[in-house]
């Protein structure tokens, strides 16, 4: 999966591993997290497979900043992946729900503490998403590009809407669940 995320971003413009890490953290990372260690190793592998090429940045002679660029083969692989629609539900994994499922073994107070802490985190996450709203086009500086970033931004916005809906739903459910446990 990470492979396609990297191809997706490199299809916008050439970037270093670190640039990719930041791009992911600010956008797709909200629904597909990646560690820098995985990004660097995956980029190396993709270069071996001919999906990207890399050059060392000349501007900066001290730091070995490697700039990656997507190849035609990379573009074609990205398009091919997008062409094959999902035919199943993406499996969801939520360790909090696993913990809650087996919470008969814990004291109600312990469960409440955990849920209330999660509530804070989800509240923060919601606020993070709400602050992304105004600026929907972080790539707007790319004037000469062949990419229509207005069109791209519509899809980015849709994933943001998902994040907002998800956090609101999560907060609602946490509030109801907390209330239910408190009344036990």
Rounded Cα gap, residues 106 and 129, in angstroms: 33
Q: What six digits make up the tokens of 64? A: 């070995």
Report, in Å, the least distance between residue 33 CB and DNA.
5
Verify binding: residue 59, a second copy, rule CB under 8 A: no
Q: What six digits make up the tokens of 84? A: 């094959």
Of 36 and 157, which CB lies nearer to DNA in the complex structure? 36
Verify binding: residue 5, a second copy, rule CB under 8 A: yes
Report, in Å, the least distance between residue 40 CB and a second copy.
19
Longest dimension (CA), the chain: 66
Concatenating the DSSP letter of every residue in 96-154 gives HHHHHHTGGGS-HHHHHHHHHHHHHHHHHHHHHHHHHTT---TTTT-TT-SS-HHHHHH
Verify binding: residue 15, a second copy, rule CB under 8 A: no
Which residue among 55, 56, 142, 165 contacts a second copy (CB under 8 A)? 165
Q: Which of residues 58-87 bind DNA (CB under 7 A)?
A: 62-66
Q: Tell me how far CA of residue 102 lies from CA of 95, 110, 134, in angstroms.
A: 11, 13, 41
Interface residues toward a second copy, by CB under 8 A = 1, 4-5, 8, 11, 27-28, 30-33, 78-79, 82-83, 85-106, 110, 113-114, 117-118, 121-122, 125, 147-148, 151-152, 154-156, 158-159, 161-162, 165-166, 168-169, 172-173, 176-177, 180, 184
């Amino acid at each position: 999966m990470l492979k396609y995320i990297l191809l997706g971003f490199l299809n916008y413009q050439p970037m270093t591993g670190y640039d990719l890490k930041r791009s992911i953290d600010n956008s797709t990372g909200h629904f597909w997290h990646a560690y820098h260690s995985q990004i660097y190793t995956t980029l190396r592998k993709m270069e071996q497979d001919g999906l990207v090429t890399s050059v060392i940045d000349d501007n900066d002679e001290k730091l070995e900043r490697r700039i990656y660029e997507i190849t035609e083969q990379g573009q074609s692989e990205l398009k091919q992946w997008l062409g094959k629609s999902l035919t199943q539900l993406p499996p969801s994994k939520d360790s909090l729900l696993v913990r809650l499922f087996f919470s008969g073994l814990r004291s109600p107070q312990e469960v409440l503490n955990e849920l209330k802490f999660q509530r804070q985190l989800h509240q923060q996450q919601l606020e993070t998403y709400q602050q992304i709203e105004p600026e929907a086009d972080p790539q707007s500086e790319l004037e000469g590009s062949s990419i229509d970033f207005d069109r791209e931004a519509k899809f980015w916005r849709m994933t943001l809407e998902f994040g907002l809906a998800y956090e609101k739903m999560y907060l609602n459910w946490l509030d109801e669940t907390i209330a239910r446990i408190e009344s036990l």
